[in-house]
Amino acid sequence: MAEHNEFGKKGEEKASEFLRKEGYTILEKNWRFGRDEIDIIARDKNELVIVEVKTRATDFFGYPEDFINKGKMKRLVRVASEYIDQKNIEMECRYDFVSIVMNKKKFEIRHIKDAFYP
């Protein structure tokens, strides 16, 4: 696995740990439909939460969540709809971002709830 993929996986693990500590139940990790993937699918009380995780080594060029574009958001909505249909889920759904800056000097997690609305 490429080094940047391993770095991203490490970020997803940190995000999962963070969400669990916040009381979320992790339902799925790296759920795929076609070529697209949802990093984390969780439950927060009575809401289904679709989580996109972005991990960077620095925030010099901006926070990691700044690099999530409209195309990625559209794909998340499409894949989340497929997950909801396949699992026959009937609950409210929201989209969150977990932004992680992780380097030797700094480790920062930012959780952006309701990051966007489809």
pTM above 0.85, yes or no: yes
Name the domain count of the chain.
Answer: 1
What residue has token string 């969780």? 42
Show the domain range for 9. Answer: 3-116
Spatial contact of 11 and 53, defined as CB atoms under 8 Å apart: yes
Q: What is the pLDDT of residue 104?
A: 73
**CATH number of the domain within which 30 lies:** 3.40.1350.10
For the chain, what is the radius of gyration of the CA atoms?
14
Of 5-19, 35-49, 82-96, the range with the lowest mean pLDDT is 5-19
- How many CA atoms does the CB half-sphere of 60 hold within 13 Å? 3
pLDDT of res. 111: 96
Q: To the nearest whole percent, how much of the chain has pLDDT over 90?
A: 68
What pLDDT digit, counting tens, does each position of 58-113 carry? Answer: 665 667 677 788 989 999 999 999 999 999 999 999 999 999 988 777 789 999 99
pLDDT score recorded for residue 110 = 93
- Kindly report the average pLDDT of the chain as a whole number: 89
109: how many CB neighbours lie within 10 A of its CB?
Answer: 17
